Each structure stands twice: as C-alpha cells, then as structure tokens.
Amino acid sequence: GAVVSQHPSRVICKSGTSVKIECRSLDFQATTMFWYRQFPKQSLMLMATSNEGSKATYEQGVEKDKFLINHASLTLSTLTVTSAHPEDSSFYICSAGAGVNTDTQYFGPGTRLTVL
Amino acid sequence: AQSVAQPEDQVNVAEGNPLTVKCTYSVSGNPYLFWYVQYPNRGLQFLLKYITGDNLVKGSYGFEAEFNKSQTSFHLKKPSALVSDSALYFCAVRDKAAGNKLTFGGGTRVLVKP
C-alpha cells in the first residue's frame, strides 16, 4: 500500500514552454501532497504544500506564477512549470499523506526535467 | 524552526560490518522522525519512523534507529550491511505542533564495499 506515482518520469523541453507533472496516490486518498525539488547531490527542498480543494501554500522564494499547483482531487496533484528555462532543470519529487496530520509521507519516483 | 543535521556526507563500510548513519535534530516541540533511502534517479523510499513509544524503532530491510531525546539524535543502524544498501539516506523531522511539513537533512551517501 501507500504507492505514489509520477508522470512523466523524465521530460525534455525547449526553453519557454510549459511542462505539467502529475502526482497520483494510487491506493489511498491524499488530502495533502507536497512538491519538492532536488538538485544533484543535494537534499530535497520543499517548494509547496498542495491541499485538496484549496490553494497551495508556497515556500519562501518559490514563484507562485511560475510553479502552478492544482490539487483537484484526493488522488491527483499537478505541478506546471510555466515558461521553463534551463535553470528550472531539476529533479522534481512529490509526496502524499493522508489526513490532516499524517505522520508519514510517501514519495513518488520523481520527474527529471531538462530544459534546453 | 525545525532543522536536521547529518554530519557525514559519506559513510564507507565493508559488507557484513555494522552500518551507522548519524542524524541530529532540532524542534521546538515533540518530534516525528523519519529515515528515507534514495537510489539513483529514484524517489525516496520510507524506511522507518519514530512517533512515540519505544525509543528503538525497527524498519524495512533490517534497519533500525534509536531515538535519543537527551542527545536529540536519531541514528540509523544496520547490524550487517549489504552491498545493495549502497544509496543516499535522508533523515527528516516534523514538529508535531508545526503541521505536517517535513524538514530533511542534507543526506548521507552510504557505500558498502564487497
């Protein structure tokens, strides 16, 4: 149980285009999902917390208009990187938890974004 | 504010020997503590957690961790390391009073040599 999937696993796009990444909880309902960014050989940096049916909460320094998050259902959250630039190239990982104060987050396999 | 420190960037151990990965934390309230493992180009896999109860927590793949409140530590241990344990290990903390946001340590790369 507690499986989280991400799609796509990797994507290459041209500078200026937008890319959508999906995060799904496959066998549980996730009231809260989290989006992280990981640079090579570094730790995970929380970008935003996505709550089903409400606006996402962004961490300081993360541009809301650039990283659009939608959590329309209890099993799906999407992250859209708008007008992508090479510096947006990174490994994006989502996680999901159930309940208001879930004690465990389960992570997706990650999406490798490369912007040319 | 909550924080996590993993003092070692890398730990090298011979196969069959004990493995320890260190973690210390700082929270204002009572902590939830977690260990995750990451293989190359993959997401994080949950290993174990401490919420309350026994200080020694047993998790997946033979790993265990001991919660030490006085030393604010949560070191990960495995009695006999395998080559397949070579990966990147992350310690994470959540302050019960601060919602469900996780803060991760910088990660420790474990290399188990045959």
| CB proximity B62 to A under 8 Å | no
Residue A13's DSSP bridge partners are A115
DSSP secondary structure code for residue A15 in this structure = T
Nearest CA in chain B to A107: B44
Residue A7's DSSP bridge partners are A22
pLDDT at A1: 62
Q: How far is CA A27 from CA A5, A90, A97, A98, in A?
A: 10, 27, 11, 11
Asked whether residue B107 carries a pLDDT value surpassing 90, the answer given is yes
Residue A107's DSSP bridge partners are A95
B24: Cβ contacts below 8 Å, ≥ 6 apart: B4, B5, B7, B71, B72, B73, B74
Summarised one tens digit per residue, pLDDT across range A22-58 is 999 998 888 889 999 998 878 889 999 988 888 899 9
- Our measurement of the distance from residue B72's CA atom to the centroid of its chain's CA atoms, rounded to an integer in Å, reads 13
Nearest CA in chain B to A6: B43
Torsion angle in degrees (nearest 10) through CA of B88, B5, A98, A11: -40
Query: Which residue type is seen at B88?
Result: L
User: What's the rounded Cα separation, in Å, for the pair B101 and A49?
Assistant: 8
| CB proximity B49 to A under 8 Å | yes
* Average pLDDT taken over every residue of chain A: 90
Asked whether residue A99 carries a pLDDT value surpassing 70, the answer given is no
Q: Do B100 and A32 touch (CB under 8 A)?
A: yes
pLDDT at B94: 87
